[in-house]
Structure 1
């Protein structure tokens, strides 16, 4: 009998997955890894990234920018941990629902883009301090800080000092502007702006005698930080009710922000502010006389006379008369015919009441004082400005002169016969760099 020999069959080897082939597991691993790297990429901004400490953003500004991203970073960190857990769970049970993982991935990517947008904005304005405009921007910072010091030290009662201080940066294409502290900005993902931002066109930095806009923009922030943003329309309404037509009163109340900033500019640097304002608002007759029924800026043809009312009350009647005379020669009174009748016919009374409401009303937000008692510019200050102008012309240090007065000094210096604008600009910024 033939016996058939049988041999145990060799078990077939289980084919190994080729690691070069794509798989769901690789997808999960890669998304979790990318999320971890996104988080690592949102590294805090460091002071040393921006050149010399003398002109770099202050530590307070950088800390405020980093704090704005910290909230995003914390949320992103939690999502990264959650993605790892979901990945591991799906690896153990491939049949599980992958949709929550995909939704989390989308949220991580969205948060990463938000963080990068925030850092791009701040690094963009901070990087300007590393270039040739760094010293000039720091000089503008110092003028802005001095405006704050002048107001805060003049308050009738001490109150918490706002920080960080205003930060200047260049943005061309439009005139100077500001973003107030606490205002939600689209460029910050609708987050609250942590410190006042003052944007300046490059050409203004070349001509420092045009920087009268700085006290104006800083004053917007002062009105906000002092808690007067909502108060001023109420004060104006109380002062004007029954004294000007209701149609005119509504216009004056709508102009409160720009009027406050103009008046504060006069009180901070004197007649030089109005001269600087004329440079800005003195355009074609059609533009200057155009009334905007929804505008927050006073119609330009009225703006200079409005500020001259304050100048006269500050003791600068001759200067106010010269400004108004020149203004009316360039922009005759007949151009006011396009204004609403109620505003046009009550303008003189309205302009006086506006100064009384904004500048001469004692307010608790000012420690029981009026704005004119908190800060003032007098004939004595003109003497300081005159001496500073002489020193700028000679390239000498202006000593302990408040930084904001340098704008007025530069305007005075540039009017001198034979004045060199390049030298004056250089001495202006050199002086600010030494303070």
Structure 2
């Protein structure tokens, strides 16, 4: 049977996909970087296995299509031949998109200083996810920088282009926040999204808010707003629980915008109105770590953005929402999710280590000693430095220099520890054989 031109054309296109697929190299061969800037080895292995599996499956699909085209598909209608090819090409583009997603994470590791900082942020993110012991089977977390003021996360086990589940969590942090206490606020907020998803906190909190919603008609709208904003609020709580006032200071910097945006109605946005979000962060901090600093911070925020300049109806709206903030903050702190085994959120984080007085005491004890700082939990270090910043005990210049140094130290220690573990494992395997 004479072969149709359509089949010949589609065969060439399919073979072209194979050629381009074979040009995709493993990420380990893609970029050069110093050892301290490399991805955590477990994360790197997860990503490489994921991408390799995707390429392998696609290669088999292309070969199967070519075999079909040369056999039973030879007499198929041209539109059927085209339909099958288009599905494969869509999968090919999805594989490329997945590769590009992780390439963006890896490429910056070759940048001078930035790569090592990112490796240090990987360590900070891992510590932020491990801060509560109730998460089982924690995924690896990797970071990269992007322009813009906001951070974002692609959570582990959520869908990538093509529908495959991401093997790791990928956090995009704003380049303009490197390096200061604010970078931890943004990063740990995003880690909070991952932690909340693993513990099912958004769903259980929404149910709790719905059950506790006041019956008085004038209070109902405020609690409906809290219910809508729960996913972002729990991430803010996670950040405050890990970082103390450093989290609120970082949030304040992010949402310090022109007045229109600070007071703009949230509508369907899961983020609370910025004006209320800062006040709620202060209320959460006061609930977790009682101290006058939270009232001072809330008062300062109100002075920066006075409600009195708004139209009367908007003033009334914010007054109703503000009045409910303390009750909502208490509900958050006392929430007991099934995943927390009956414990409240308040008792699920190491709050005793992060009380303001203790943080300042640690700041004076450590005295910017890099050897001491590098051995501490990263979230605790950022909490200490942020508390010192709030107390005006450290300048922005000294803060940036100190945090840059400690990020490098964490990156180097993590890299050396990983390679030492690999070397020890290989020696043991050699002796066993």
Tell me, in whole angstroms, the C-alpha distance in 1 between the residues paired with 2:193 and 2:326.
21
1:37 pairs, out of 15, 19, 36, with 19
2:143 pairs, out of 139, 164, 168, with 168
2:122 pairs, out of 129, 136, 141, with 141
SS in 2 for 1:255: helix
Structure 1 residue 302: Cα displacement: 1.9
Structure 1 residue 115: Cα displacement: 1.6
**Equivalent pair of 2:188/2:239 in contact (CA under 8 Å):** yes
Tell me, in whole angstroms, the C-alpha distance in 1 between the residues paired with 2:124 and 2:26.
29
Tell me, in whole angstroms, the C-alpha distance in 1 between the residues paired with 2:103 and 2:339.
35
1:375 pairs, out of 349, 352, 364, with 349
1:115 partnered with 2:88: no
**Equivalent pair of 2:149/2:176 in contact (CA under 8 Å):** no
Identify the residue that residue 408 of structure 1 maps to in structure 2: 383
What do residues 55-80 of structure 1 show as CA deviations (whole Å, max 9, x unaligned)?
Answer: 32234434443426624641441332
**Equivalent pair of 1:240/1:249 in contact (CA under 8 Å):** yes
Identify the residue that residue 336 of structure 2 maps to in structure 1: 362
What do residues 396-421 of structure 1 show as CA deviations (whole Å, max 9, x unaligned)?
Answer: 53154210122233335553366535
User: Structure 1 108/368 Cα, relative in aligned 2: closer, same or farther at 3 Å?
Assistant: same
Tell me, in whole angstroms, the C-alpha distance in 1 between the residues paired with 2:26 and 2:264.
48
For structure 2, the residue ranges without an aligned partner over 5 or more in a row are 415-433
For 1:312-327, list aligned pairs within 5 A.
Answer: 312-327=286-301
What do residues 233-290 of structure 1 show as CA deviations (whole Å, max 9, x unaligned)?
Answer: 1111112232662222211111111211222222111122222222222333333222
What do residues 148-167 of structure 1 show as CA deviations (whole Å, max 9, x unaligned)?
Answer: 1111x2x3xxx63222x221
1:254 partnered with 2:234: no
For 1:4-403, list aligned pairs within 5 A.
Answer: 30-31=12-13, 33-42=15-24, 44-46=26-28, 51-65=33-47, 66-67=49-50, 70-71=53-54, 73-87=56-70, 100-132=80-112, 133-151=114-132, 153=133, 155=134, 160-163=136-139, 165-185=140-160, 188-242=161-215, 245-335=219-309, 343-378=317-352, 381-382=355-356, 385-386=359-360, 389=363, 391=366, 393=368, 395-398=370-373, 400-403=375-378
- RMSD, aligned α-carbons: 3.3
**Equivalent pair of 1:50/1:57 in contact (CA under 8 Å):** no
Q: Which has the higher helix share?
A: 2
Structure 1 residue 219: Cα displacement: 0.7
Count of residues paired in the alignment: 402
Tell me, in whole angstroms, the C-alpha distance in 2 between the residues paired with 1:148 and 1:48.
29
Tell me, in whole angstroms, the C-alpha distance in 2 between the residues paired with 1:312 and 1:96.
71
**Equivalent pair of 1:240/1:350 in contact (CA under 8 Å):** no
Once structures 1 and 2 are overlaid, which stretch shifts more, 425-434 or 99-108?
Answer: 99-108
User: Structure 1 111/310 Cα, relative in aligned 2: closer, same or farther at 3 Å?
Assistant: closer
Tell me, in whole angstroms, the C-alpha distance in 1 between the residues paired with 2:178 and 2:305.
28
Structure 1 residue 28: Cα displacement: 7.2
Tell me, in whole angstroms, the C-alpha distance in 1 between the residues paired with 2:183 and 2:18.
49
User: Structure 1 326/161 Cα, relative in aligned 2: closer, same or farther at 3 Å?
Assistant: same
User: Structure 1 32/97 Cα, relative in aligned 2: closer, same or farther at 3 Å?
Assistant: same
1:423 partnered with 2:404: no
**Equivalent pair of 1:239/1:353 in contact (CA under 8 Å):** no
TM-score, normalised relative to structure 2: 0.80
SS in 2 for 1:121: helix
